[in-house]
Structure 1
């Protein structure tokens, strides 16, 4: 509005000056009316040429932006492999195109991961359903001679496996959606000790706890992390699982160790992929889903920590490290 008002005032001043010059009795300031007309005409031509030149330069300058926006308008979820064209000059527009292509690559990877996840999920959901259907159909074909109690027990195993899988899928959905519960200052040793007291383990569980190991975390999430690590350890342990809670440096640490066959070094990251199960795990527990360890790692990362497998003389040693609570870190300075 200010620019427009200034332009109007300037136009009014120019018009008033021209009228005064034409109405004045003295000789024209520019010598003659023809000279004045030439000056005005030349000024108008200069303004027009400047406007056309500016428009042409801006059109050429913004041409890469039109190319990028035009290509983006044609990209759909079904053709995320396509990329926007890169300008020939190294400037901000080329940087914009490169950033756009990187975003498309991340979107393509995310969609491919979701498709793979959906495929693996449907496969794992079909298995217990197919087992239940087979049991029911065989029972109906031999109604008189079937042991219905034994059939119910086998059906219950499939139902429990299906229930565990659905629970894991709901937990993954919650974690992927970024749903974070209330974080409180918790005594990690007390939390782990209480959960182990309520757990019925099939092997001997050795506890090594230090006092005063505090974490800032969500009780439900940390409990789920512990039980997932314990489920894995008890599945592979020969006779003993050792659970350790202590400080290492400034980091609160939860360690779960089993005396089983361990995990080959080259596969230590593979087991944290969703639905990934090693051959040894499939042999020991055909009903597993391959989601427990990925969920445990994601919970640790959501708490600002890490979950890794570290070297041990035998068996597998899972180590979860958490950041020291900010309140305690500030108080120790």
Structure 2
């Protein structure tokens, strides 16, 4: 904008200068023609013979002397043998000028012609004097400095305007940078100011604020995770310390086999918690094992066949559609299925139902129990880490509260979903994974 304004101003000034200088040169040239015509007229009044019609600048000016009959009586060398250069008929006591381009006399040139009347005793004679017109650009001696000055002024104005405008436009960037520089890992409450105008800088500020919000949420989630993990790890460690101290206080009265059994239970609980924490850390870091096409029907069936001793008196009913395959990590999917089965066994009254179907290219696995069920408002709470409902604490006080969160995170890492949905009785967990083509049999 600054460059455009300066270009218009410079153009206007240049046009004015060219016009003024051209007019001045044209007036000066006309005055020279008049002086030349007056000089020839003085000679002509003394007599036609011996009149010197050679112009002052023979390379640029031409002279003709025309008698009262309209014939050329004398002419400069370049006008010799040519007709009168003009048909102007000035007043007897004045002179006249005209511009002429082309014609038989001057060819393709454009000239200024001055006609000057001379009174003699034999009639009215006329002196015609011509010189080239001043071009619109006057000459390279003026046009080049004007062009260079025009270019320098426009570039300088554009640079200065751009510096000012870009500086004002980028001022919010400096503010955002200053605010971001004040943010530390321990204080993520700061937010960058959002510019008033809806432009790319506003979008940058809003994106930065959303990023800071996500970072703050992630840090708070990590702090809660560390707090909950330390609390859950402290419980089995405290129990083991208490049992050991009691046994050492009365070593002869202690039941060492019973103490060892109690310590083993606490160690198993700590081991399970550490394994869950490791799995959560792997999932948060995006660490994934080798993906392959897995026969989901065979995986679920094999896992159910392997669990009778853990089910106890519960009945397990299965309905598995053959030919259902997914692409994923076998160990992770096995962990997901076991977490769902463990949860169902923990809350079932007498029956656990496992169903596997294929719906529109999606493998659907349902694990249902006939227990107390889950209230609708708590169906998302159970997927939060270390979140345990009262019923879960009563049935399994040693649980970690990480089984269902890990199962959902594994489902998400495989491009699927895991949710607690409506059921006529008990809890119903539904896993949906993108299906793949069934792998070919590997047997002979």
Normalised by the length of structure 1, the TM-score is 0.84
Structure with larger Rg: 2
Structure-1 residue corresponding to 2:368: 257
Cα distance, 1:62–1:142 mapped onto 2, change above 3 Å: same
Q: Please tell me whether the aligned partners of residues 309 and 316 of structure 1 are also in contact (alpha carbons under 8 angstroms).
A: yes
Structure-1 residue corresponding to 2:355: 244
Question: Cα deviation per residue 1:250-285 (whole Å; 9 max; x = unaligned)?
Answer: 321211111111111110110011100000100111
Q: Please tell me whether the aligned partners of residues 293 and 438 of structure 2 are also in contact (alpha carbons under 8 angstroms).
A: no
> In structure 2, how many angstroms separate the alpha carbons of the residues matched to 1:76 and 1:314?
50
Q: Please tell me whether the aligned partners of residues 304 and 323 of structure 1 are also in contact (alpha carbons under 8 angstroms).
A: yes
Unaligned runs of 5+ in 2: 1-136, 440-444
Question: Cα deviation per residue 1:94-149 (whole Å; 9 max; x = unaligned)?
Answer: 11111111111111111111111110000000000000000000000111111000
1:275 aligns with 2:386: yes
CA RMSD, Structure 1 to Structure 2 (Å): 2.3
Alignment of 1:104-183 (within 5 A): 104-183=212-291
> In structure 2, how many angstroms separate the alpha carbons of the residues matched to 1:219 and 1:168?
17
Cα distance, 1:241–1:37 mapped onto 2, change above 3 Å: closer
> In structure 1, how many angstroms separate the alpha carbons of the residues matched to 2:174 and 2:327?
49
Structure with greater helix percent: 1
1:98 aligns with 2:206: yes
1:192 aligns with 2:310: no
Question: Cα deviation per residue 1:65-114 (whole Å; 9 max; x = unaligned)?
Answer: 11112221221112211111111222111111111111111111111111
User: After alignment, is 161-170 or 232-241 more displaced?
Assistant: 232-241
Q: 1:217: how far off?
A: 1.9
Question: Cα deviation per residue 1:22-64 (whole Å; 9 max; x = unaligned)?
Answer: xxxxxxx978999987886676555444432322222112111
Q: Please tell me whether the aligned partners of residues 416 and 433 of structure 2 are also in contact (alpha carbons under 8 angstroms).
A: yes
1:322 aligns with 2:430: no
> In structure 1, how many angstroms separate the alpha carbons of the residues matched to 2:369 and 2:420?
12
Alignment of 1:4-83 (within 5 A): 44=152, 47-83=155-191
Q: 1:295: how far off?
A: 0.5
Query: Secondary structure of 1:145's match?
Result: coil
Question: Cα deviation per residue 1:216-269 (whole Å; 9 max; x = unaligned)?
Answer: 221111110111011111111111211122223432121111111111111011
Cα distance, 1:52–1:232 mapped onto 2, change above 3 Å: same
Query: Secondary structure of 1:166's match?
Result: helix
Structure with greater strand percent: 2
Structure-1 residue corresponding to 2:311: 201
1:211 aligns with 2:322: yes
Q: Which of residues 374, 385, 399 in structure 2 aligns to 1:288?
A: 399
Cα distance, 1:326–1:65 mapped onto 2, change above 3 Å: farther
Structure-2 residue corresponding to 1:312: 423
Cα distance, 1:238–1:44 mapped onto 2, change above 3 Å: closer
